[in-house]
Chain A
Amino acid sequence: MLIILLLVVFMIGTFFGFMFIKNTIAHWLVGGISFLLLAGSVAMLTMHIKDNWGMKEVTTSSTHQIYTAGDNSAPYGMMIKAEIGKNTDNYVLVYRNSEKAEKADTNFKPNQKNIVEAVKKSATYKLVDDTKATVTTKTTRRVWSSDFYKLLFSVGGEQNELVKQQSVVSVPKDTWLVLTQDQVKKLSQEAPAMQKQMEAQLKADPQKAAQLAALQKSNPTEYAKMQVKQIKQLLGITE
């Protein structure tokens, strides 16, 4: 706020000093000093514009659990990924942010109308040895480094300006599936056939069917693992 005042006052000082004061010494003194101060203020503003002088970066981190993008009743979790470009390790990811959400959310979709902001954000995922899927977001923002600078420059709404935002989704490697849209499509096409085949197999072997049903109750994780393995085999995912 102060910078506006400084520029206006020193500009008036320069104009008044050079144009209206008749005494030669006073004229140079008032006009000259005002102009130098004006130049100094412009220099400060330039430094602020160029290097964010007077601001510092603060990084915060937050983590929360995420839920499957697929059917809530399925024993395994599912996340749908879409890479932005090729080999950028930057993804749009589809999952539920809250367990009760009816539909899965599309996360990290870049805002094409604001590329300058969008390019600061990135999101990727990793497969971890865990049972819960989580998302960790590290956000770096700019804040005023002191009240003095805030007083000087805070007109442009720069407080909390985003510098960088990096999100990493951790997905359990054995009980979750991370699929591309094509793979989801393929799965939904081939799932009924697979289902039938399995049912036929289980009918032929009632003992195994009972075993599986028991496993689903006693050790759902193991059951999910098995299903994930089967689907991965079907889709040819080898990671």
Chain B
Amino acid sequence: MIVVGIVFLVSIFAMRDVIPNRPMKLDFLSVILSVAGFGAFLWGFTNVATDGWGKFNTVIAPIVGGLIIILLFGLRQLKMDDPFLDIRVFKIRQFTLVTLALALSTMAMMGVEMMLPLYLQDVHGLSAFNSGLVLLPGSLMMAVVAPLAGGVYDRIGSKRLAVIGFLVLALGTVPFMFFTATTPDHFVTLLYGLRMVGVGMVMMPLTTSAMNAVPVNEVAQATASNNTARQVASSVVVALLSSVAQNVITNNMPASSLKAANPLQFANKAIEAMLQGYHASFAIGLVFAIIGIFVALSLKSGRMIAGLPVEEQEVKGENK
């Protein structure tokens, strides 16, 4: 805490801008539109878990309304000379594809990452601390893979990394759908580690690739668009996962009359219902990983060189 405080204080004085700033006017209408649009859209999605998809006031209206406002926001950005969020970067096909792939990898990662601690705690009866320990080696795998993937990216570009990464991610997700109440923690750690190798191969190189796909003067805009897409993707997927899992669990929950008649059986069936809910959310993670394979396959192969216009971004890497 003290360290954080010191870093914060020092950073105010010691940090220098890395990328030159341009003076910009803040367009208030854009701010309002973006806050209202994304706010309503995400708020609608977060309500799905509690209210279900059919509720008009808290789910359908904000999502649809939010989309309309976002659309207006987008149109305004296209017309402006100096846009607030330059969505024109999405005209660059490679950038759009990479951003899509990144969003998919975020969603595929979340599909398991979000529900796995709950599985470990509710079904295996682990404490929060121990469930964290079970997942720790997996997270460390990302740290191991990232520099390796970075090295490979510098030589052959992101496509092959992304394709293989998504394949590994999908492969590592399959066993999760068959987890039982007694699956040993070691296997959970092992398979989670395998998935994270896939995530590590996809995420870091694709982020770099996204930035390299756009001209240098648009990097700031591209970062903003890229981040927005990922944030929206992860919010949507969290809402989707929790609502699907919750629905599956509710539908499979034993009748409460069983609780009095046979409490043991009731508790067991409740655990099975939870398992089914988690399986559903793991399956969603798998679906995103599989879509990711196809998006990755449509990426341009070879190495991207930062700053070159897209037309010149031909295959600069090794021959394929």
Partner of A115 from B186, B187, B271 at Cβ < 8 Å: B271
Give every chain B residue within 8 A of A85 (Cβ-Cβ): 260-265
Give every chain A residue within 8 A of B271 (Cβ-Cβ): 115-116
User: Which parts of B239-275 form the interface with A (CB within 8 Å)?
Assistant: 260-265, 267-268, 271
Can you list 23 A-B contacts with CB-CB less than 8 angstroms, sorted by A residue number? A15-B201, A18-B164, A19-B161, A22-B318, A35-B164, A38-B168, A42-B171, A45-B191, A46-B174, A49-B187, A84-B263, A85-B261, A87-B261, A88-B261, A88-B262, A88-B264, A114-B125, A115-B264, A115-B268, A116-B182, A116-B268, A118-B267, A157-B186
Give every chain B residue within 8 A of A110 (Cβ-Cβ): 264
A15→B164 contact, CB < 8 A: yes
User: Which parts of A103-141 form the interface with B (CB within 8 Å)?
Assistant: 110, 112-116, 118-119
A35→B167 contact, CB < 8 A: yes
Give Cα distance in the complex from A110 to B265, angstroms: 12
B39 CB to closest chain A CB (Å) equals 41
Give every chain A residue within 8 A of B231 (Cβ-Cβ): none
Give Cα distance in the complex from A238 to B179, angstroms: 49
Give Cα distance in the complex from A161 to B265, angstroms: 20
B138 CB to closest chain A CB (Å) equals 13
Residues of B within 8 A of A (CB): 123, 125, 148, 152, 156, 160-161, 164, 167-168, 171-172, 174-175, 178-187, 190-191, 194, 197, 201, 260-265, 267-268, 271, 318
Q: Is A143 on the interface with B (CB-CB < 8 A)?
A: no
A7→B182 contact, CB < 8 A: no
Q: A38-B168, A115-B271 are in contact. List 9 more A-B contacts (CB 8 A).
A: A14-B168, A42-B174, A45-B187, A46-B175, A116-B125, A119-B268, A157-B186, A158-B184, A161-B182
Q: Is A90 on the interface with B (CB-CB < 8 A)?
A: yes
B168→A11 contact, CB < 8 A: yes
Which 9 pairs, one residue from A and one from B, show the smallest C-beta to C-beta distance? A156-B184, A85-B262, A50-B178, A119-B268, A115-B267, A46-B175, A19-B152, A116-B181, A155-B186
Give Cα distance in the complex from A84 to B262, angstroms: 7
B175→A157 contact, CB < 8 A: no
Give Cα distance in the complex from A175 to B76, angstroms: 92
The range of chain A's interface size is 35 or more
Chain A 6-21: CB-based contact to B (< 8 A → 1; otherwise 0): 0100010011001110
Give Cα distance in the complex from A90 to B263, angstroms: 11
Residues of A within 8 A of B (CB): 3-4, 7, 11, 14-15, 18-20, 22, 31, 35, 38-39, 42, 45-46, 49-50, 84-88, 90, 110, 112-116, 118-119, 155-158, 161
Count the A-B residue pairs with Cβ separation under 8 angstroms: how many? 100
Q: Is the interface of B mostly helix, strand, loop or mixed?
A: helix
Known: A19-B152, A86-B260. A11 touches B125 (CB 8 A): no
Give Cα distance in the complex from A101 to B102, angstroms: 67
B160→A18 contact, CB < 8 A: yes
A160 CB to closest chain B CB (Å) equals 13
Give Cα distance in the complex from A95 to B168, angstroms: 56
Give Cα distance in the complex from A87 to B262, angstroms: 8
B184→A42 contact, CB < 8 A: no
Give every chain B residue within 8 A of A39 (Cβ-Cβ): 171
Give every chain A residue within 8 A of B262 (Cβ-Cβ): 84-86, 88, 90
Give every chain A residue within 8 A of B171 (Cβ-Cβ): 38-39, 42
Which single residue of chain B is at the shortest CB-CB distance from A117? B182
B136 CB to closest chain A CB (Å) equals 16
A157→B125 contact, CB < 8 A: no
B59 CB to closest chain A CB (Å) equals 34
B175→A49 contact, CB < 8 A: yes
Give Cα distance in the complex from A154 to B264, angstroms: 30
Give every chain A residue within 8 A of B167 (Cβ-Cβ): 35
Give Cα distance in the complex from A227 to B229, angstroms: 82
Give Cα distance in the complex from A156 to B264, angstroms: 26
Give Cα distance in the complex from A35 to B194, angstroms: 12
Give Cα distance in the complex from A110 to B156, angstroms: 59
A1 CB to closest chain B CB (Å) equals 10
Give every chain B residue within 8 A of A119 (Cβ-Cβ): 264-265, 267-268
Give every chain B residue within 8 A of A158 (Cβ-Cβ): 184
Partner of B194 from A18, A31, A42, A50 at Cβ < 8 Å: A42
Partner of B264 from A11, A45, A49, A90 at Cβ < 8 Å: A90
Give Cα distance in the complex from A88 to B201, angstroms: 53
A84→B160 contact, CB < 8 A: no
A12 CB to closest chain B CB (Å) equals 10
B142 CB to closest chain A CB (Å) equals 14
Which single residue of chain B is at the shortest CB-CB distance from A110? B264
Known: A19-B161, A88-B262, A115-B271. A42 touches B125 (CB 8 A): no
Give Cα distance in the complex from A50 to B174, angstroms: 11
